[in-house]
Amino acid sequence: MIYKILSTSPSFGYYVFEPLEYLKQHDCEWDLFPQGRTITQEELVDRIREYDAIVVGMEKITEAVLNAAIRLKIIAKHGAGVDNIDMEAATRKGVPVVSAPGANSDAVADLTFGLFLSLARSIPLADHSVKEGKWPRMVGIQVNGKVLGIIGLGQIGKKVAQRAAGFDMKILACDLVKDQSFARRWGVTYLPLEEVLAQADFLSIHIPLGPSSRRLIGEKELRLMKEGSFLVNISRGSIVDEDALYLALKERWIRGAALDVFAQEPPVDHPLLKLDNLISTPHMGGYTYEALRETGMICVQAIVDILNARRPKNVINPDVWRP
């Protein structure tokens, strides 16, 4: 029997090909949605009927989509966060949802530190100035010895902390779950959010988006930060109140910010993009060849497991197996 797989992720199957070869070896065919175009809910509802599995990116998998999925046996998130998937509807439908937690943690941590350095030394502005024929004297700050605040010390947050240790940074963290063993080993101090905000020279966000984290960083929180501090959000755009961040940057409550994520992507004509103390990147935190290979293989291995009546790893809604 040949199984049909749909991918709506803009990166699955386009940069590394081992996951597609794995599907081919296990009697699966695939359709990759074209890059550069977002699939609409209407298209998804219409197309999902003929597929046994779907690999998804950031598009919403709603109850309407799931109701139309008469053959669907698994949803594989090509990444870690599943806030775009209606988990309750998937569970009612009996469709397991899997993700790839930690597969891109090194890639995201690398970019996080790249953004720290870019902010501290104004690297994008310096590059742009030289290419315009200018030769400015640009004075920045050093990263080493500064205070790093991490919101969310999960797999990615821990990778960031490990890199920060190499820069002799003082590391503060805020998290509901406290890994004291890791904290002792890497010199991390857990503090309440308000204290992390008040002390951090660099603030880095690494938490999933949910009801409690939506607009977690708003005007009140931004006003608690140091005037010379920097904010980096590489998690989900809606965790930061973008209107409040715009004011904070324009009025210099904080020195600068870097965003790899926005509430609406792409952020067309967003006022934040007009600010010279903001660095923006196109949600590329997990985009390395190594991370894409690992993430893709986790997805396809889970798909093949389900198609062969085996329970896959990394199931987000384990209630689908309960009697």
Q: Strands 97-98, 53-56: parallel, antiparallel or unpaired by DSSP? A: unpaired
Q: Catalogue the active-site residues.
A: 236, 265, 283
Burial class of 219 by CB neighbour count within 10 A (0 to 12, 13 to 18, 19+): middle
Q: d(Cα 6, Cα 161) in Å, to the nearest integer?
A: 37
Q: Strands 256-259, 97-98: parallel, antiparallel or unpaired by DSSP? A: unpaired
Number of C-alpha atoms within 13 angstroms, CB side, residue 89?
16
Query: Beta-carbon neighbour count of residue 320 at 10 Å?
Result: 17
3-state secondary structure 4-72: EEEECCCCCCCCCCHHHHHHHHCCEEEEECCCCCCCCHHHHHHHHHHCCEEEECCCCECHHHHHHCCCC
Burial class of 40 by CB neighbour count within 10 A (0 to 12, 13 to 18, 19+): exposed
| Helix/strand/coil percentages in the chain, nearest 5 | 40, 15, 45
Whether the Cβ atoms of residue 78 and residue 295 lie closer than 8 Å to each other = yes
